[in-house]
Chain A
């Protein structure tokens, strides 16, 4: 098929809070092509998980996706689809795996049951057929002795194996799109590597796209071909993975990359981005990063930047795109020390 597999335009998702509506996702747009791995990166609270839940329309009331948002999948507009057809898509055309596999699996059913449930929900397979397909899927995701394992309960499996179970569940119906929400965050580093390897392998085999959500830049570097950086409910930079790591444009991306400590580097203090992520109920005016940005000037406070195109397939939501000469650090940043350090004194 031609055209993107998934096309998100102007997604806005809000949650009512006692302090006013929290605009967790505030105008996010991106595409995912078939067989592509796109990384969605950002700190906690930037809206990346909410974005993924919005795609599958798993946002529970009172949260809601605002009118004016568009999500097109394989040409069909998802947000106006009736619930029955949406259910047919969930788990079969778009699947999702979550961060904490122990919490994400039902503790009172066997893993085999839970994987087989996907088949029973979406096809007319009998219990026996669904079960054997589940076992087969478990084998494909690298679980040894799948027939025995299938009869076990989630608490009897290790973290890595549980995540494999989740992957098996997600891939039962060979969906063209897999959303992986922090799939390796809760796992050991070695298991992390295994799971990522597994995802890569399965992607080749099944020919699917993956939307990989994470706060870990290392994971993104390894797996994604294109990266979206989110901050304060918006996409602030979009680029191919190599460009992003070699020549980041947005100051936030810069900060993120600089914050990663490198082995063999002699430093006394870690580099941090000063300040904290603002609350979703009160995004700052103008550029939302201006109060933490080393280059900010008055335009940044007054004018909310649009996504400027910097190069082929590279976009940045920063006024530096138009005034690159302003890229002079005038605010004390992590390069020289921690600005306004208050960490040592607070108890």
Chain B
């Protein structure tokens, strides 16, 4: 994990430095901006001096937790991030939970009735969702459910209430607002999980210990849900590690389309507005998040597979 962070830091640093010119060259075009001002900005944002000095100071800064200031927002990056990150985490957490629960269930059903019409239909549907571009699906969902059917709010601006509001109403509002983005994010991942789970189940079904279970007199039901499932969950847990970065990438679009102020939204804005400090910091942040996600997945794997537990 340390390697990841190190790599990401280096990467994000060099990405900006290696770009032709620097972020401030554009300002020079503007006749009303004096060169001294630009030079000052350069110094302020750490773009002057020899490259290795810059790198050193960058690393030092990041180690302290100071991610610099956002050029466009005129606020420290850290403040922005701490504001937006929890929202994205909530979105991703919900999407992750839903998609895995649903995906595992579908995969099990498919394996149970392998080869039947149910299996084929579910498989085709999963394949379809898996092949959708996430931003496109989001647009479609927004269009159909938000606009045409007007089931969910299309903006994220919290409703204005006079006086105190009972918590369940507030929860309901939050739920309504979250449904579309979570559903969209989840749909794509569910398809992937279902495919994985199904093939894992079928793989495990061919193993010897399943035959032993049958030879013991265990019912088909017991074989599937106790013996096969428990083992088939293992590869799906590794999927958790993979799903994390995928969801993060997906959030970029989803948040933008559903106007959800999380870090995905922030990233897109930063890219559009050419805010280098923010972009590089966000890249770094994403990498760290993914690394953490992988770590968690590894831990979970150890919990689930007794072969990986260190014996006391």
CB pair A107–B306 under 8 Å, yes or no, is yes
User: Within the assembled complex, what's the spacing in Å between the Cα atoms of A96 and B209?
Assistant: 12
Residues in A with CB closer than 8 Å to B212 are 96, 98, 104-106, 166, 169
B194-222 CB contacts (< 8 Å) to partner A: 207-209, 211-219, 222
- Could you mark each residue 92-134 of chain A with 1 if its beta carbon is under 8 Å from any beta carbon of chain B, else 0? 1001101010011111110000000110011000000000000
Q: Which of B207, B211, B217 contacts A122 (CB 8 A)?
A: B217
Q: With A and B bound together, what is the CA distance between A103 and B207 in angstroms?
A: 7
* B307-A121 in contact (CB<8A): no
A-B pair number, CB within 8 angstroms: 73
Segment touching B, from A37-45, A82-90, A277-285, A317-325: A82-90
Tell me whether A98 and B208 are in contact in the complex, defined as CB-CB below 8 angstroms, given that A90-B216, A117-B218, A156-B311 are known contacts: yes
Q: Knowing A153-B307, A156-B311 touch, does A105 contact B216 (C-beta < 8 A)?
A: no
A139 at the binding interface (Cβ < 8 Å): no
Q: How far is the CA of A95 from the CA of B208 in the complex (A)?
A: 15
CB neighbours of A104 from chain B (8 A): 208-209, 211-212
Closest to B304 in A: A108
Q: In the docked arrangement, what's the CA distance between A22 and B234, Å?
A: 35
**Is residue A240 contacting chain B, with contact meaning CB distance below 8 A?**
no
Structural contact, B207 and A90, CB atoms closer than 8 A: no
How far apart are the CA atoms of A117 and B226 in the complex, in Å? 11
Does A91 lie at the interface of the complex (its beta carbon under 8 Å from any beta carbon of B)?
A: yes
Q: In the assembled complex, which residues on chain B have CB atoms less than 8 Å from the CB atom of A107?
A: 209, 231, 305-307
Pairwise interchain contact A106-B215, C-beta atoms closer than 8 A: no
Contact residues on B (Cβ < 8 Å of other chain), bracket: 20 to 34
Cβ of B230 within 8 Å of any chain A Cβ, yes or no, is yes
Residues of B within 8 A of A106 (CB): 209, 212-213, 227, 230-231
Interface SS majority for chain B? helix
Is the Cβ of A118 less than 8 Å from the Cβ of B231? Answer: no
In the bound complex, what is the Cα–Cα distance between A100 and B311 (angstroms)?
Answer: 24
Chain A CB within 10 Å, residue with most, of B217, B218, B305, B311: B217
Answer whether A95 and B218 are a contact pair too, CB < 8 Å, given A107-B209, A156-B311.
no
B242 → chain A, closest Cβ, in Å?
A: 22
A35 interface hit (Cβ, 8 Å): no
Report how far A330 CA is from B62 CA in the complex, Å: 88
- Are the CB atoms of B219 and A87 closer together than 8 Å? yes
Judged by a CB distance under 8 angstroms, whether A58 is at the interface is yes
Residue of A nearest to B218 (CB): A121
Task: List residues 153-208 of chain A with CB under 8 A from any CB of chain B.
Answer: 153, 155-156, 166, 169
A95's contact among B211, B215, B219, B230, by CB below 8 Å, is which?
B215
In whole angstroms, what is the CA distance A108 to B226 when docked?
Answer: 10
CB-CB under 8 A from A210, the residues of chain B are none
Chain B residues 279-312 with CB under 8 Å of chain A are: 304-307, 311
Beyond A103-B207, A118-B217, A121-B217: 12 further Cβ-contacts under 8 Å? A89-B217, A91-B216, A95-B216, A104-B212, A106-B230, A106-B231, A107-B209, A107-B306, A107-B307, A108-B231, A108-B305, A109-B230
Q: Mark B residues whose CB is within 8 Å of A.
A: 207-209, 211-219, 222, 227, 230-231, 234, 304-307, 311
**A and B contact pairs by CB, cutoff 8 A, 10 listed:** A89-B217, A91-B216, A95-B216, A103-B209, A105-B209, A105-B212, A107-B231, A108-B305, A117-B216, A169-B216
